[in-house]
Chain A
Amino acid sequence: MSVDTSSAEKLNSQNVDTAELIVELYSEEIPWRMQEPMAQSLAMLLATELARALGLPKLDNHRLDNVEGAFGKQQLYSTPRRVAVAFDSVPKESKAWQETLKGPRVASPQVAVDGFLRKNKLGSTKECFKIEDRKGDYYAINIDHRSVATNGILGEVVSKVVMQMQKELKVSMRFADQSFRWVRPLRHILVVFAGAGVEGSINLGGELDQQEKLDFTNRTRGATLGSAEPFLVASIKDYEKKLRDNYVEPIYEQRLEIIKKDVESVNDNQNIIIEENACLTEYPCVLTGHFYEEFLSLPLGLIEAVLNHHQKIIYNVDYSTARCDFYFVANISQTTDKNKAIRGVERVVRARLADAKFMLERDKRIPIAEHIKKLEEITFHPKLGSIADKNSRVKKLIPIIISELEKHNDNFSISKDCNQAWFAKEVDQQKMGLATETVREFPKLQEIISEGLKPRNIFDVFIIPSINITELADAVDSLITLWFVGERASGSSDPFALRRYATTIINNLIKPRAVGKIDNGNNNESCVKESSGYYLPLSIIFDEILNITIDQGIHLNTNTNDVSRYYLAPEPIPFITTRIYQWMRYNYEDVRVDCIEAILIKPLNIEDCNILKMIERIKTLSGEMDKNNNLAEIYNRLQAILSSDLEEGEPFLLDAESYQEGKLVDHIEAKDLPNEKLFEKPEEKALFAFAKDIIMEGKAWDELSYQKKLESLANLKSLLDAFFDKVMVNVEDKKIRHNRVILLYRIFRRFGELANFSKIHHKDLKQQSRQQKASA
C-alpha cells in the first residue's frame, strides 16, 4: 500500500524541507468492515485538504491511488480500535503561491456578479479579468497566498478532515450528551508532525454540560488489555515499533499474514473469516483445538454455520481421520498462558455443536408430516401467502410443465414412477426444512436440512438428471408471482433473489456441454461447446402460474385478473433475457458480445422466449460474423442510405426498431414491392434477380434455416457493392428512385427479422486483437 511517486520526488528535488506526519483516530471497537474504508477515507481526505491548504496541485479525493505519493511514502493503519495514516514527506511550509479563482459567467445575472464581488471584497468587475472556456467568458481573480508553516495549518486541516469523515460515516452514534457522531466513541486524535504534537481540537458539542472539546495529542495506547499507560509518538518508525511492543500490529495485511502462517490447508471460502478475524484482533494469536467424530455426523454445512458464521472460527475437517481441527484467532498477548483460553474455546465449540446436534436430532424425531403441516404457518411473501400455498401452486404447475416439455421436445421423457403424487411429496419435502428448529437457528441451511430429513427411496434418482422439474417449477412460481406483486431487482438490490430464480430457470432448460478443443487457426485454442436442452414455451407457463395464483384468491398487480395469453406474461421476459446475456458471457467466452446483444436485446420474433433457439442463434450469428464482416457492412450501408433524407426534411426511419413497431415513415408501405419494369441498370436487375427470394414473400425464404438466411444475405455483398458503385438511388425521376428504395428496403427488412443489427459493432474488436496477436 505504500508507493513512491513523482510528486514526492519533485518535492525532494526542489530541496523542499519535509517532515513526517502521523494522524491516528483512536476509538472503541470499530465494526470490522468499516476499518479499512475509514483508513482509506482518512488518507484521501487528509491528502486532499493538505494539498489545498498548502497550495499544491489539486487532488481527486475520491480515489486512493490519486493521492498516493502526494506526500511521499504513505502508510495506512487500521485495527479494531484505530484508523491512522502516515506520510513521510510533507513540506514544512508552503511556498508563496497564486490561486486563480473562477467567478460567475460574464453573462450571469447581476446578482451573481455582485455576490462574487462582495464575497471577495472587490469594488467592481474592473478588478477582475476574464477567462474563456467552452461555454463562454468568466470573471476571475488571482489571489496571492503567502507562505505558511504547515505546523500552523495542520490543526485546522485535521479537524476539517474529521468533521468531513463524520458526515460520510454510514453508521454512527452519539455518545453521552455530545452532538458529535462517530462509529463508536472517539477517544483520542493523535497528530504528530516533524516529531512533535500539533495543537488543535475538535468540537464534540454538548447540551447538558458546556461544549466539550477533544484536544489533539501526541500519545497513543497499545492493546486494550495489555498496556496500561499511553506512550509518546515521535516518528513513523517509533509509532510502529511502540505499538508492536504493546501488542498491536497496526498494519492489517501484516495481521492477515500472522494468521495465515498459523492456519494450514484451509479451503478458500474461509478467507472471509480469516479477514474478519484480522479485523477483530489487534495482535492475532492463533489457538488450535480439535474435536473428533462425535460431531462429524452433522452435515458439513451445519458445522460450517456453527464454526464459521457463529463463532468466527476457521476449521479443517478430515473425514479420513475423523477429526476436525479448528483455529481460533485470539486477542491475547503472546506471552500469557494460553491454556485457559484454549480450554474455554473448546468448551464453547463443544457446547455450540452439541446445541446444533440436539436441535437436528429433535427435528429428525418429529414426523415429516408434522414438518410439512407447519409450512402453512410460514409466510412466503405477505401478498402471496404461506409456503404451503406456494407448494400447492407448484404442484399444479408441474404437470403443465411436463406436458409442455413432452409436446415440444422429442428427447424428453420422464419415468412413470415420477407421477403426480411423487412430485407432490417431493415439493413438500423440498421445503420442509423451513419448519425445523435447526433452520430457524441457521436460516441459510434450508436445503441441507430438508435433504437430511428426507426418507430415502428407490425413486429418488431422476430419470432425466439434466432437469429438476421441482426446482424449475418452484423458480417459475417464485419469479412470476413475486414479479406480479410488484417485487423487482435493481442495481445491487435484489431482496427476493429474482435473478437467482431466473438463472435457475435457464440452468434447468439448457446445459452447455464441452465437446472438445479446436485450434481456430491462430494458435488460439478454444473450447467448443454444444448446448443441449429443452424448449419450454415460457409465456404459456407464466400465464398458467398466474391463473393458478389468481384461483387461490390472491390479488396480483395486473390491470385485470383475467389473464389472457400474450397479455401479461411477456412482461418478465426481458428480465430473463438479461440473465441469458450474463449466462452466455459466463458459459460461452468465445461468442461475440455484440451478437449476444443483437439477439437478446429486443428479441425479434422468437416464439415464446425460446431460450434454446436464442442461444443457437447467438452462436450462429457469432460464427457468421467471425467468418467475415459482410453482414455488418451491408447492414450499415443500407441503413445509411435508407435513413438519409430522400426529400429534404423528411426522415426515413427504417432501422429494425421502427420496422418492428410498424412505423414506416415516408412513402413505403410494408406490402410495396419493386417493379421489375422500372429497373434500368444491369446492376439493379442482377441484384433483383439474385435476391428474389429475399425480396419477395414466400416459402423460399421462410423455409431456410437461420444460418442459411444469414448466409444468403451475406452473399449479396458483391452484388450490392456493384449496385452502389453504378446505380444512383437519389435520382430526379421520383418513380425510379422510389422503386430503388423499395428494392433496398425489401432486403434491409430481412436483417430486422434475424437480429438487431444496430447492436453489431462494425469491426469485431476481438477478431482484430486476435489478428494482431497472431501477426505479432
Chain B
Amino acid sequence: MILTLQKYWAQQGCVILQPYDMEVGAGTFHWATALKALTPANATEQDKKWRAAYVQACRRPADGRYGENPNRLQHYFQFQVLLKPSPKDSQELYLESLKEIGIKVEEHDIRFVEDDWESPTLGAKGLGWEVWCNGMEVSQFTYFQQVGGFPCKPVSTELTYGLERLAMYLQEKESIFELQYNDNMKYGEIYTEMEKSYGRFNFELANVDKIREQFSESEKQCIEICDKAKTKSDALPAYDYCLKASHLFNLLDARGAVQQNARPDYILRVRQLAHACCAVWLGEQRREAKR
C-alpha cells in the first residue's frame, strides 16, 4: 500500500521523503509540511511549487491502550502529501490515489465531511474535510490557511492517510493487531509488545519532574537558536527543539501531570516556539504572545 501511494504521488511530481527522525504527533509536523507550507518572500521556484509525500511514524502517548484496544495505538503510521500551491484538481488526484490502492470510488460511499482542522500547538489551521469511505474516516483533506500564526501564501493541499485504518478496511480486519503485515507476520506480532511497554512508560513510568525540566530546556534551546539565526534554514534545528517540547508536553499530558488550568499555558508555550521557528523561516519578526 505504501509503495503504491509513493509511486502514485511520485508520478504527480512529489519528492518522496523518508520519515522525520523526531517524535511527532502527526505527519503534519514533519518540516516538509509544517515549514514548507510557508513561502518566504524570496523563495526559489522550487520552494514556491513544493510537492512532497512521505510516511511518518506518529506518537500520541495519551492514545495508547497497552495494546488491548483493537482500535487504538500510541504509535502508528500516516502517509502524508503536501501539494503547493493547491492544484485545481486536488480532489480528483486524491480520489485517483484511492483507486490505486484498491478502493473503487464507484463501489463505495465516499464523502467529504466538513472538518476544519486546527493544531493549537503548531498554530496551524485549514479548511477541508474528513474523507469517509463507507462511514470510516480514511483521510484528512485540508487546504492549509495558516502555520505558526503566519498565513500560507499560496495555499497548499495537505492529505493525510491513516494507514492502519485503510489497511484494516482493505484486509477486512476488525483489529489492528490482526492486520497481515506481510505473508507470514501480523501487525500485532511486531507491535503489541511495544504498545504494552510504551503504555506502561507513558502512563506510569515517565519521570514527570525530569520531563518538565526537559520541556523547559528544549524551550530555551529553541528560542536561543531562533535568536541567533542567520539564515532561514536555521529554523530547522530550532524546529527540532519545538518538536521535542511538543512531544514532552504530550507525555506530561498522558501522565496526567498537566493540571487542567495549566494546559492552555503549555499549549501556548509550544505554539510560541512554532511561531518563532516559522518567523525565522520566513525572515519575519516574531510577535510576543498575549498570555
Interface residues of A (CB under 8 A from B): 28-29, 31-32, 80, 171, 173-177, 183-185, 187, 207-208, 224-226, 280-281, 287, 311-313, 328, 330-333, 336-337, 340-341, 344-345, 347-351, 354-355, 358-359, 362, 374, 377-379, 382, 386
B residues near A374, Cβ cutoff 8 Å: 256
Of A31, A208, A354, A379, the residue contacting B70 (CB under 8 A) is A354
Of B88, B109, B128, the residue contacting A328 (CB under 8 A) is B109
Pair B107/A177 contact, Cβ less than 8 Å: no
Please name the 6 residue pairs, one residue from A and one from B, whose CB atoms are nearest each other, closest first: A344-B134, A379-B260, A177-B154, A31-B114, A176-B85, A330-B109
Q: In whole Å, how far is A75's beta carbon from the nearest beta carbon of chain B? A: 25
Question: Known contacts A173-B155, A208-B48, A358-B69; is A344 also within 8 Å of B135 by CB?
Answer: yes
Can you pick out 9 interface pairs between chain A and chain B where the beta carbons lie within 8 Å of each other?
Answer: A174-B153, A177-B155, A311-B135, A331-B109, A345-B109, A348-B134, A354-B71, A355-B72, A386-B260
Q: In whole Å, how far is B153's beta carbon from the nearest beta carbon of chain A? A: 7
Of B113, B116, B260, the residue contacting A378 (CB under 8 A) is B260
Which residue from chain B places its CB closest to the CB of A376 in the assembled complex? B259
Of A171, A340, A355, the residue contacting B108 (CB under 8 A) is A340
Question: Known contacts A225-B106, A331-B110; is A175 also within 8 Å of B155 by CB?
Answer: yes
A residues near B108, Cβ cutoff 8 Å: 332, 340-341, 344
Pair B155/A176 contact, Cβ less than 8 Å: yes
Pair B69/A29 contact, Cβ less than 8 Å: no
Question: Known contacts A29-B129, A333-B106; is A382 also within 8 Å of B261 by CB?
Answer: yes
Q: Which of B95-138 contact A (CB under 8 A)?
A: 95, 105-114, 116, 126-129, 133-136
A residues near B155, Cβ cutoff 8 Å: 173-177
Interface residues on B, range: 35 or more
**Is B91 located at the chain interface by the 8 A CB criterion?**
yes
Pair B154/A208 contact, Cβ less than 8 Å: yes
Question: Known contacts A354-B70, A355-B71, A377-B259; is A347 also within 8 Å of B111 by CB?
Answer: no
Pair B114/A331 contact, Cβ less than 8 Å: no
Task: Digitize B250-266: 1 where CB-to-A-CB distance is under 8 Å, 0 elsewhere.
Answer: 00000010011100000
Question: Known contacts A311-B135, A344-B136; is A207 also within 8 Å of B154 by CB?
Answer: yes
Of A174, A185, A208, A281, the residue contacting B111 (CB under 8 A) is A281
Query: A-B pairs with CB below 8 Å: how many?
Result: 134
Pair B69/A355 contact, Cβ less than 8 Å: yes
A residues near B105, Cβ cutoff 8 Å: 225
Task: Give A377 to B68 CA distance when docked, in angstroms.
Answer: 25
A residues near B112, Cβ cutoff 8 Å: 28-29, 80
**Is B145 located at the chain interface by the 8 A CB criterion?**
yes
Task: Digitize B69-86: 1 where CB-to-A-CB distance is under 8 Å, 0 elsewhere.
Answer: 111100000000000011
Q: Which of B68, B88, B106, B116 has the most CB of A within 10 A?
A: B106
A residues near B126, Cβ cutoff 8 Å: 173
Q: A225-B105, A351-B70 are in contact. List 14 more A-B contacts (CB 8 A).
A: A28-B91, A29-B111, A173-B126, A175-B86, A176-B85, A176-B87, A184-B127, A185-B88, A312-B135, A313-B135, A337-B107, A341-B108, A344-B108, A378-B260
Pair B109/A332 contact, Cβ less than 8 Å: yes
Pair A379/B261 contact, Cβ less than 8 Å: yes
Pair A177/B143 contact, Cβ less than 8 Å: no
**Is B169 located at the chain interface by the 8 A CB criterion?**
yes
Task: Give A355 to B63 CA distance when docked, in angstroms.
Answer: 13
Q: Which of B107, B114, B172, B256 has the most CB of A within 10 A?
A: B114
Question: Known contacts A311-B135, A351-B174; is A331 also within 8 Å of B111 by CB?
Answer: yes
Task: Give A328 to B111 CA distance when docked, in angstroms.
Answer: 12
Pair A348/B136 contact, Cβ less than 8 Å: yes
Q: In whole Å, how far is A439's beta carbon from the nearest beta carbon of chain B? A: 14
A residues near B113, Cβ cutoff 8 Å: 280, 312
Pair A207/B135 contact, Cβ less than 8 Å: no
Q: In whole Å, how far is A596's beta carbon from the nearest beta carbon of chain B? A: 41
Of B72, B91, B153, B172, the residue contacting A207 (CB under 8 A) is B153
Task: Give A665 to B88 CA distance when docked, in angstroms.
Answer: 76
Pair B109/A341 contact, Cβ less than 8 Å: yes
Which residue from chain A places its CB closest to the CB of B145 in the assembled complex? A173
Which residue from chain A places its CB closest to the CB of B131 in the assembled complex? A29
Q: Which of B90, B116, B260 has the most CB of A within 10 A?
A: B260
B residues near A226, Cβ cutoff 8 Å: 106
Which residue from chain B places its CB closest to the CB of A387 in the assembled complex? B260
Pair A328/B135 contact, Cβ less than 8 Å: yes
Pair B88/A32 contact, Cβ less than 8 Å: no
Q: In whole Å, how far is A182's beta carbon from the nearest beta carbon of chain B? A: 10
Task: Give A348 to B133 CA distance when docked, in angstroms.
Answer: 10
B residues near A28, Cβ cutoff 8 Å: 91, 112
Task: Give A386 to B109 CA distance when docked, in angstroms.
Answer: 44
Which residue from chain B places its CB closest to the CB of A81 in the assembled complex? B112
Which residue from chain A places its CB closest to the CB of B83 in the assembled complex? A176
A residues near B259, Cβ cutoff 8 Å: 377, 379
Pair B85/A177 contact, Cβ less than 8 Å: yes
Task: Give A336 to B107 CA distance when docked, in angstroms.
Answer: 7
Q: Which of A31, A183, A328 has the most CB of B within 10 A?
A: A31
Pair B109/A336 contact, Cβ less than 8 Å: no
A residues near B91, Cβ cutoff 8 Å: 28, 224
Pair B110/A345 contact, Cβ less than 8 Å: no
Which residue from chain B places its CB closest to the CB of A381 in the assembled complex? B261
Task: Give A560 to B27 CA distance when docked, in angstroms.
Answer: 52
Which residue from chain A places its CB closest to the CB of B136 in the assembled complex? A348
B residues near A185, Cβ cutoff 8 Å: 86, 88, 90, 143
Task: Give A452 to B153 CA distance when docked, in angstroms.
Answer: 51
Task: Give A222 to B136 CA distance when docked, in angstroms.
Answer: 24
Of A29, A340, A355, A377, the residue contacting B107 (CB under 8 A) is A340
Pair B260/A377 contact, Cβ less than 8 Å: yes
Which residue from chain B places its CB closest to the CB of A80 in the assembled complex? B112
A residues near B128, Cβ cutoff 8 Å: 184
Q: Which of B72, B86, B95 has the most CB of A within 10 A?
A: B86
Q: Which of A348, A354, A355 has the most CB of B within 10 A?
A: A348
Which residue from chain B places its CB closest to the CB of A437 in the assembled complex? B65
Q: Which of B238-273 contact A (CB under 8 A)?
A: 256, 259-261
Task: Digitize B179-213: 1 where CB-to-A-CB distance is under 8 Å, 0 elsewhere.
Answer: 00000000000000000000000000000000000
A residues near B86, Cβ cutoff 8 Å: 175-176, 185
Which residue from chain A places its CB closest to the CB of B111 in the assembled complex? A331
A residues near B110, Cβ cutoff 8 Å: 225, 331
Task: Digitize B151-186: 1 where CB-to-A-CB distance is under 8 Å, 0 elsewhere.
Answer: 001110000000000001100101000000000000
A residues near B153, Cβ cutoff 8 Å: 174, 177, 207
Pair A348/B106 contact, Cβ less than 8 Å: no
Of A171, A174, A382, A386, the residue contacting B116 (CB under 8 A) is A171
Task: Give A664 to B110 CA distance when docked, in angstroms.
Answer: 75
Task: Give A76 to B70 CA distance when docked, in angstroms.
Answer: 46
Task: Give A355 to B68 CA distance when docked, in angstroms.
Answer: 11
Pair B107/A175 contact, Cβ less than 8 Å: no
Question: Known contacts A29-B114, A173-B127, A377-B259; is A349 also within 8 Å of B145 by CB?
Answer: no
Q: In whole Å, how far is B147's beta carbon from the nearest beta carbon of chain A? A: 14
Of B72, B85, B135, B261, the residue contacting A348 (CB under 8 A) is B135
A residues near B134, Cβ cutoff 8 Å: 328, 330, 340-341, 344-345, 347-348
Which residue from chain A places its CB closest to the CB of B260 in the assembled complex? A379
Q: In whole Å, how far is A550's beta carbon from the nearest beta carbon of chain B? A: 19
Question: Known contacts A177-B154, A208-B48, A332-B109; is A358 also within 8 Å of B135 by CB?
Answer: no
Task: Give A226 to B107 CA distance when docked, in angstroms.
Answer: 11
A residues near B111, Cβ cutoff 8 Å: 29, 80, 280-281, 331
